[in-house]
Amino acid sequence: MAQRDYYDILGVPRGASSDDLKSAFRRLAREYHPDVSEKVDAEERFKEINEAYAVLSDDEKRAAYDRFGHAGVNGMGGFPDFTVNFSDLFEELFNFGRARSGGRRNAPRRGANLRYTLILDFEEAVFGVEKEIEYTRDEVCDHCNGTRAEPGTSKSTCSTCQGAGEVRQSRQTLFGSMVQVSTCPTCQGEGETVETLCTNCRGRGLERKTVKKSVEVPGGVDNGTQIRLNGEGQPGFNGGPPGNLYLMIQVRNHKYFKRRENDILLDLDINIAQATLGADVEVPTVDGDASLSIPAGIQPGKVLRMRGKGIPRLRGKGRGDQLVILNVEIPKKVSEEQRELFEQLAESLGSEVHPQELGFFDKLRDFLGG
């Protein structure tokens, strides 16, 4: 059977760099290594991949292959010499090989992050507020100072790993006997065992504590805003830094106001006389009641802008606006005097009607930029 082209096996062009070759081999090794792959032809495919990489990763063999093909690398006796050092690659891919000095388990590790949902009123989100929060996290045990051992007792070297924190297990692979390194199951990588566990934390070295903290919430936050408090999360391991605490902001709905980015929306009902003749009215804002001038002859759905009465910009200067959406309220009941006045008005206005070219919601959407 004709042998496949080595470049085709690895899926790389003939001008591929050594880094490209290594990357291709890693990808295919993860897919076809017999110890991890469930593919039926995994063993044969992996032998083929190994052979291709062994040749192409060696400059002298690759040059001979490029010039003479498979005949250039088969040797005098017709048996190819495919020797290459895969130890670094397999240690990286499958955690085989010798334990690295110090052991990964004992390396400093950052503590876990924590989340806290902070619920604010609408005005608190607008202007900012100082809030006291209360949450639980792990802290070093006061009784054993994190040693996990009952005070007055000692630790001893782990008899399973002899203090290394790791155990090694020999495995037979296609390339001979190799060693798999794993965390010691007895001491969990610490290299020491505790004879008498701390009675307070039961050997964790940590205890749950309630933490009270005052936090400053800036003005302009909204639903989904995250505030990071550095170092306020879970403690680190082996001297690693603590994690962070993330405040997840939720804002309660307001009775009148709605938010659109940095603008506040307010629906305002006015009567027919105010819409027809115009009026100066007091309307609610987050700063308190403010005067709004309604021009005569205003139509339902008209939007009036109150500049600077909106939300402070969280990243930037100034504030948004308050947009007042006017609705002309039609009375459901009228007195006899009011009915007479409306009848006189109706007679003077006539009965002609005019179809609208653009609806109310279209006008509102155009005004808001939607």
> The tokens of 332 are what?
């459901």
What is the per-residue pLDDT for 323? 95
Closest CA relative to residue 210, chosen from 112, 137, 115: 137
Query: Alpha-carbon distance 65 to 166, whole Å?
Result: 43
What is the per-residue pLDDT for 310? 92
**Domain carrying residue 67:** 6-94
Q: Is 311 helix (H, G, I), strand (E, B) or coil?
A: coil
Residue 333 within a domain:
yes
Closest CA relative to residue 165, chosen from 103, 251, 89, 73: 103
For the stretch 259-273, what's the b/e string if a residue is b when 16 or more beta carbons lie within 10 angstroms of its beta carbon? beebbbbbebebeee
Tell me: do 88 and 122 sit in the same domain: no
Number of domains the chain is built from: 3
Tell me: do 246 and 344 sit in the same domain: no
Among candidate residues 94, 129, 148, the one where a domain is terminated: 94
Tell me: do 118 and 227 sit in the same domain: yes
Tell me: do 57 and 165 sit in the same domain: no
Tell me: do 244 and 275 sit in the same domain: no
What is the per-residue pLDDT for 317? 85
- CA angle in degrees (0–180, nearest 5) for 229-104-89: 120
C-alpha dist (Å) from residue 344 to 247, 272, 337, 341:
62, 15, 11, 5
Amino acid at 162: Q
Residue 105 within a domain:
no
Among candidate residues 208, 233, 251, the one where a domain is terminated: 251
Residue 106 within a domain:
no
What is the per-residue pLDDT for 9? 92
Tell me: do 123 and 190 sit in the same domain: yes
Tell me: do 348 and 271 sit in the same domain: yes
What is the per-residue pLDDT for 124? 94
Tell me: do 269 and 211 sit in the same domain: no
Summarize pLDDT for 50-70 with one digit per residue, the tens.
889 989 988 888 988 888 888
What is the per-residue pLDDT for 106? 60
Query: Alpha-carbon distance 369 to 151, whole Å?
Result: 69
What is the per-residue pLDDT for 272? 85
Residue 184 within a domain:
yes
Tell me: do 287 and 357 sit in the same domain: yes
Tell me: do 141 and 238 sit in the same domain: yes
Among candidate residues 33, 66, 94, the one where a domain is terminated: 94
Strand partners, 172: 177
What is the per-residue pLDDT for 33? 77
Residues of the chain with confidence (pLDDT) below 50: 76-85, 87-88, 91, 95-104
Residue 49's contacts (CB-CB under 8 Å, 6 or more residues apart) are 9, 10, 25, 28, 29, 32
Q: How many helices (H) and strands (E) does the chain have?
A: 9, 15
Residue 107 within a domain:
no
Query: Alpha-carbon distance 97 to 235, whole Å?
Result: 32
Q: What is the CATH number of the domain that holds 59?
A: 1.10.287.110
DSSP letter at 79? -
What is the per-residue pLDDT for 362? 62
Tell me: do 151 and 191 sit in the same domain: yes
Q: What is the CATH number of the domain that holds 335?
A: 2.60.260.20
Tell me: do 131 and 237 sit in the same domain: yes
Closest CA relative to residue 322, chosen from 330, 333, 312, 311: 311
Query: Alpha-carbon distance 307 to 320, whole Å?
Result: 7
Query: Alpha-carbon distance 140 to 148, whole Å?
Result: 10
> The tokens of 251 are what?
């804002």
Q: What is the CATH number of the domain that holds 226?
A: 2.10.230.10
Query: Alpha-carbon distance 349 to 184, whole Å?
Result: 93
